[in-house]
Amino acid sequence: MKNSVLIGVFFAFVWGAIKFLFHTDLNKAINPFVLLNIFFLLTAIALGLFLIKKKEGYLSGNIISDFKKAMGIGLPYTLIVSGFIYYYYATFNPMYVENKIQQTNKLIDASIDNPKKLVELKKQKPEFEVMSKEQLRKELKKGPANMYSAKATGLLSLLSMMLLTTFYSLLISLIYRKILFKRLTD
């Protein structure tokens, strides 16, 4: 395996290990792990591309080849972390998903039991106007079960990290090519 791919794999496994180590302490706070994930993706791409360009020569190739190499570093990270996120919420911590669904269901129940919010809900879609409270409750509770499932979370993380990998690869390639490498070769 290439060293550049190993950098992405290394950062992915470090993120997974940190997620497992602090599972109980930060179970309710998901934001630190999201921010750490974004930082590790950026760091893996930046460090990997820098090491590749250091070995090849800073001005060798073009920006397209740099972008391709940066994507080659970010994609393994993205795939491993997304697979880990699916596994984590499907098998290791399914209670997080259940808690989120219960919280959302409580909000739905509170909205339906409030007469003013019930009128607003019925105005949102024409089919809601003819439904009883129980039919509306049942219809609205279908959404959270699908939205918070482990599959949906894993797929959403895959899609968002693919977009972020593409953006970071392009941004870092541009910054390195236009700013950093010119200064290093002068």
Q: What is the 3-state secondary structure (H, E, C) of the chain?
A: CCHHHHHHHHHHHHHHHHHHHCCCCCCCCCHHHHHHHHHHHHHHHHHHHHHHHHHHCCCCCCHHHHHHHHHHHHHHHHHHHHHHHHHHHHHHCHHHHHHHHHHHHHHHHHHHHCHHHHHHHHHHCHHHHCCCHHHHHHHHCHHHHHHCCHHHHHHHHHHHHHHHHHHHHHHHHHHHHHHHHHHHHC
Average pLDDT, the chain: 85
Q: How confident is the model at residue 155 (pLDDT cuts 50, 70, 90)?
A: very high
pLDDT at 185: 64
Closest CA to 52 of 163, 164, 172, 171: 172
Residues 34-44, mean pLDDT to the nearest whole number: 94
What pLDDT, in 10s, does the model give residues 175-186? 988 887 667 666
Q: How confident is the model at residue 27 (pLDDT cuts 50, 70, 90)?
A: low
What pLDDT, in 10s, does the model give residues 69-112? 999 999 999 999 999 999 988 888 778 778 888 888 888 888 87
pLDDT at 31: 76
Residues 158-165, mean pLDDT to the nearest whole number: 96
What phi, psi does 147 have (nearest 5°)? -70, -35
What phi, psi does 22 have (nearest 5°)? -105, 25
Q: Which amino acid is at 174?
A: L
**What span, in angstroms and rounded, lies between the C-alpha atoms of 82 and 6?**
17
**Prediction pTM value:** 0.81
